[in-house]
Chain A
Amino acid sequence: MEWSILQQYGPLLLSGFATTILCWALGTIFSMILGLLIALVQRYAPRPVGWVIQAYIEIIRGTPFLVQLFVLYYGGPLIGLRLDALPAGLLGLTIYGSPYFAEIFRSAFNAVPLGQIEAARAIGMSEPSIIRRILLPLGLVSALPALVNFSIILTKETVILSIITVPELTYQTQRMSTETFRYIEANLALALFFWALVETISRVGRRLEKRVTRHLTERT
């Protein structure tokens, strides 16, 4: 193995890693927000709207991200949606992740005891207040482990952005391997970077979980 090659390509890999983190972070945030909105609309909207949303969820979950991204990036211009690689990648991640997040939020909201919501209704609280003060705080807490878990899964989906030429880490390591034929070093570096990212996310997630549940668990 030739580790000096990593020194040479270090800056390139680092910039790729930065792009990966950026794509992951923004993609996660956007798809989480979209998923949250979907879950809220599903909860409160009339039936037909719910069916439309359910269809969206099924379609997105039923197709590979790779295909979605192709359609968006290469098919988009046909309907006038011309995006650069990075924005297209972010939009793709947002769409791809949203139904999973929506399902996480939906089941978390369903897990909030109805009685606690009725208690709020009984004192005359409005539905927006109930959402903000009761449903969201309790729902988010119970959703947290699943949210962290799916955002970890999303780190790996960012890899696919390389096929539409987003200069993220995979893209750069591929470039390094084709230029130098150092496949092993390149892929080891790739694995190491991802491991560091995933490990960080799960650590932060565990701490967060501990923090937000500290008042909710019965001391026995």
Chain B
Amino acid sequence: MRTRQITASDGVRLAVQEHGDRTNPTIVAVHGYPDDHVVWDGAVAALAERYHVVTYDVRGAGHSEAPTQRSAYGLDQLECDLAVVVEEVSPYAPVHLLAHDWGSIQAWHAVTGDRMRGRIASFTSVSGPCLDHAGHWFRSRLRRPSPKRLRELVTQLACSGYIGFFQLPLLPELAWRSRLLPRLLGTLERLDPAAAAQPARPSLSDGLRGLALYRANMLARLGGPRERRADIPVQVLAPTGDPFVSPALQTDIARWVPDLRIRRVPGGHWLPRTRPDVVTRCTSELVEDVEHGRQARPLRRARVGGKRPRCADQLVVITGAGSGIGRETALAFAEQGAEIVAADRDQTAAARTAELAGLLGPQATPYAVDVSDGAAMEDFAKHVQTELGVPDVVVNNAGIGVAGPFAETSVEDWQRVIDVNLWGVIHGCRAFAAQMTDRGEGGQIVNVASAAAYLPSRTLSAYATTKSAVLTLSQCLRAELASSGIGVSTVCPGFVHTNITARTRFVGLNDDGQQQRQQAATRMYRRRNFTPDRAAREILRTVETNAALTPITPEATAGLVLSRLTPGLLRAAARADLTPG
């Protein structure tokens, strides 16, 4: 790290820190309140490997000087400070801005103003709006209220309550000196599960002096907002659990920012501290796009505006995609613009699905894998990650059928069906949930169980056991992964006309008997005539709404209701042998 002092236009001396090779593209990172440049330590370490990274202490914070008069903290002056720093550290090439909280408010001011036109190549904003945009946002909510807009307004007002409090004389100072405010901030930061056990303690003097930021700017900007446009590429990282800036406030800005990306990141207000890896990755992706035109899929997916298919630039992995529900799910996602990875034990079938998906949407990738093979599933997941990236949706669909009396179900039968139906789902969840959590941008996992998961039947002891295990697994995982923004859904089909009936093993029968049962079941399912494309549609809807449990087909829905209302009735019904034949 190289440190130096730079003198601002009004003589205030600012402490500036530089990292990395000066010949690389420059990223200037601006911290918020009540922080100093240290908030960037995590991100800087990684970013400096590829970029020239500059941080500085905003006037009033860290090692920079702190003028005493409030007027020295106006946004125009702060913008001027940024311009001076940029001029010093990158006199020839425009810089990429990265800013958090109050730093972001300043950066927005610079990005939407004239002074720094041509000096900023891109802007990544974390948890800080443009105050003028916020002013418009508050006003529009009041002028054209609707239940949703009012709810957003009330949410944000609750988040912004401290702003009003900061306008009061003396009381905020008292809150700082009594350590009440620092403790409150610590508590809020600890609400974020990704936070370190001991959040950074803001210094008392920074806290006190920084109050001038609020007092010098808030009322003026929010009271009389101007029209300010940003004409450079902007990406907003909007933490979903930010106690100060609600996602709605940060994301409703497309009309001022034509080249906008919004990425919702599970996490709290101090993302630069809690998830420096996410901040680093997102920032580099935008920088790489602007510098070299390499547009990563997540960046494309985050694009706002323009007419795009619903699942455009999503990566969707589906197991058992070679037939039936899996294949139709792949096609339905492809039709909505998603990029498909079609995995199946049957390589030819997977390739065919990928080919069809490619006709409806972007090019798709087939992959041959047996879901019951843990090591192969790990390899599969690694392959997907390195070749295509972390999937946004994973559908663990591969499954097989076994039916017949318990006593005639051999240990091998049990092992096979548990291996595929349960272990297959476990392996899929293990491999991909870890990737999604690491990436830190959420995701969706759908596990295909069956109505048999909650409808006991004397003829399905093995199959139903695996499926109810999948249901329980999914529900537990859903609870665990919620804080990482990863949704876990279970879908429970009833009778869907697919190849499964012709492949189900009916235990205790010779080959002829097997075949007879399979044909009879196939005829029954065909007459039932619920086609797998309809099941696929339900799966898409499940992903869209992050539903916990979706019964597919009316009998599955009715069964679910009955299982809750009159479980006794279902236990009685379970004694009937409904196997067609």
Asked if A pairs with B, the answer is no
